[in-house]
Amino acid sequence: MVESRTLGQVQEEILNTVRKSQAAVIDALQTWTATVRSITPELPDVNVPFADKLPKPQELVATAYNFAEQLLASQRKFAEDVLQATAPLLPGKEDAPARKNGSAAK
């Protein structure tokens, strides 16, 4: 039997699966971290020169994802512009502009 699902439903199922997988990984990492902390001795603080000038891991993640969001938005706009520019070539477009060589589109 063929199952009829919309693209939106398939995308939502994929996103739910990804979220569940991510949650399972986070749970495993928390368990692993707790185990490692319980069996390792506490280490002394180490003074690294200029360590306070380095970005924090959270800042690195935020910066990387902000850049990725901007890049993805730019790519989306480009794809939409390509679709708009080529729309007159699609079947059923009677109002297609004349070709560059001067002949009308047929």
Predicted confidence (pLDDT) at residue 43 exceeds the cutoff of 60: yes
Q: What is the mean pLDDT of the chain?
A: 88
User: pTM to 2 decimals?
Assistant: 0.63
Task: Give the list of residues 6+ apart from residue 5 with CB closer than 8 angstroms, or none.
Answer: none
Predicted confidence (pLDDT) at residue 96 exceeds the cutoff of 70: no
Q: What is the pLDDT of residues 57-86, one digit of tens each?
A: 999 999 999 999 999 999 999 999 999 999
pLDDT of 106: 44
**In this structure, what token pair is assigned to residue 63?**
């910066």
Percent of the chain with pLDDT over 90: 71
pLDDT of 4: 74
3-class secondary-structure state, position 18? helix
Task: Give the list of residues 6+ apart from residue 97 with CB closer than 8 angstroms, or none.
Answer: 88, 105
Query: How many other CB atoms are there within 10 angstroms of residue 96's CB atom?
Result: 14
Give the CA distances from residue 103 to residues 26, 93, 94, in Å, rounded to whole numbers and listed in that order.
63, 16, 15
